[in-house]
Amino acid sequence: MSHDTLAIIWFGLWGLIWTVYFILDGYTLGTGMLFPFIAKNRQERNQLQEAVGPFWGGNEVWLITAGGATFAAFPAVYADMFSFLYTPLFLVLIALFIRAIGLEFMHKDDNPLWQAACKWGFFTGSFLIAFLFGVTFANLYRGLLIGANGYEGNLFSLLNGYGILGGLLFVSLFLLSGSLWVQLKTAGQTAVRAYRFSRILAGVAPAVLSLFFLATVNRTPLLDNYSDQPVLWIVPVIALTAMLAAAYFIFKKKIGYAFTAVCVTIFTKMAFGFVGMFPNMLPSKIDTAYSVTLFDAAGSKLNLTIMFVVAVIFVPIIIAYQSWSYTLFKDKILKESAKGYQ
């Protein structure tokens, strides 16, 4: 394969890895955001901890893989991204620490202050991760303030209307995913309360997604590729259809189907963005001449080839392991037997 072909393949893999991460960690982030409002006592907190405990660490492997793939396949993008977006990515790192501390140390002490601190730490970390990643990717779609002297923006320039809308979209989708996951994994009052939230979110998430697509039409250059290749419009159509299907299945109490539909929504929403960005990876809002494309940023042909072989070998192993873990912990968690995160 030629260098350009390998670069295009790795762009697709890069987008896929990020998408898988958001699908998998989406429900754990959503569970974290719902945690203070669904769990009313220690045993119910134990239920929700067990609902995500066996999976959240494995899900974050995909985040590490996304960073590693960026570093290995597109070193220029890695260097520029962690320079241009240093503040939001640093805040994501802090939020990851807060979420982990809240989840893992919650069962260490029954003191009400300790429990409250961990509970709200789990919530805060989960919210910030979802919101900040939404803001970051929305700004990638919109274009960064990259000029002749490098990045000319700051955190506040990222918090524009479109960026905030992207953050709210991630939050709403992950909340919906988390509410459905809780119903799939627990029984009793936690599942009942989660269903009440999912009914509300079934109206909120489609509305936010529709607003985001509308804003994308008016605020970003993503549609250029769709205008050139009209067949690509099937991607946002599937996203909206899946979102509406999720709402339908929620009201029909077909929670498994609803959860699957939300996963499809996240997948196609992310695909919509990556397809529209192609071949840019760090697009400039100031002048397209300053944009960083996948061809500019890709490593050498030998490097891309080696990484491709590594991915072909190890990604199926990761998928097989995670599939086994989901099979092993497939049973619903009852309040009476829940032991919390161990």
| Residue 333: predicted pLDDT | 75
Angle at 281 between CA 276 and CA 286, to 5 degrees: 85
Q: Long-range contacts of range 1-9, CB-CB < 8 Å, 24 or more positions apart?
A: 1/305, 2/301, 3/298, 3/300, 3/301, 3/304, 4/295, 6/298, 6/301, 6/304, 6/305, 6/308, 7/73, 7/294, 7/295, 7/298, 7/304, 8/279, 8/294, 9/304, 9/308
CATH 1.20.1630.10 for domain 3-328: yes
Identify the three-state secondary structure at position 168: helix
Please give the Cα distance from 193 to 210 (Å, whole number): 26
The pLDDT score that the predictor gives to residue 56 is 82
**DSSP string covering 197-236:** HHHHHHHHHHHHHHHHHHHHHHH-STHHHHHH-GGGGHHH
Backbone angles phi and psi of 276, in degrees to 5: -70, -35
pLDDT by residue (tens digit) across 151-209? 888 888 899 999 999 999 999 999 999 999 999 999 889 999 999 999 999 999 999 99
133-158: b or e for each residue (b if 16 or more CB lie within 10 Å)?
bbbbbbbbbbbbbbeeeebbbeeeeb
Query: With a cut of 50, which residues of the chain have pLDDT below it?
Result: none
Q: What is the pLDDT of residues 37-60, one digit of tens each?
A: 998 888 888 888 888 888 888 888
Q: Where are the domains of the chain?
A: 3-328
pTM, to two decimals: 0.94
pLDDT for 335 equals 63
What integer pLDDT is reported at residue 337 of this predicted model?
66
Long-range contacts made by residues 287-293, C-beta under 8 angstroms, separation at least 24?
Answer: 287/147, 290/146, 290/147, 290/148, 291/143, 291/146, 292/76, 292/77, 292/80, 292/146
**DSSP collapsed to 3 states, 83-129:** HHCHHHHHHHHHHHHHHHHHHHCHHHCCCHHHHHHHHHHHHHHHHHH
Q: Count Cβ atoms below 10 Å from residue 289 Cβ, excluding itself.
A: 9
Do 74 and 10 form a contact (C-beta atoms < 8 A)? yes
The residue with tokens 């220029």 is: 76
Q: What pLDDT does residue 336 have? A: 65
Cβ atoms of 172 and 201 closer than 8 Å:
yes
Q: How many CA atoms lie within 13 A of 261 on its CB side?
A: 21
Predicted local confidence at residue 238, as pLDDT: 97
CA atoms within 13 Å, Cβ hemisphere of 301 = 5
What pLDDT, on a 0 to 100 scale, did the predictor assign at position 342? 58
* Exposure letters 14-41 (e unless 16+ CB within 10 A, then b): bbbbbbbbbbbbbbbbbbbbbbeebbee
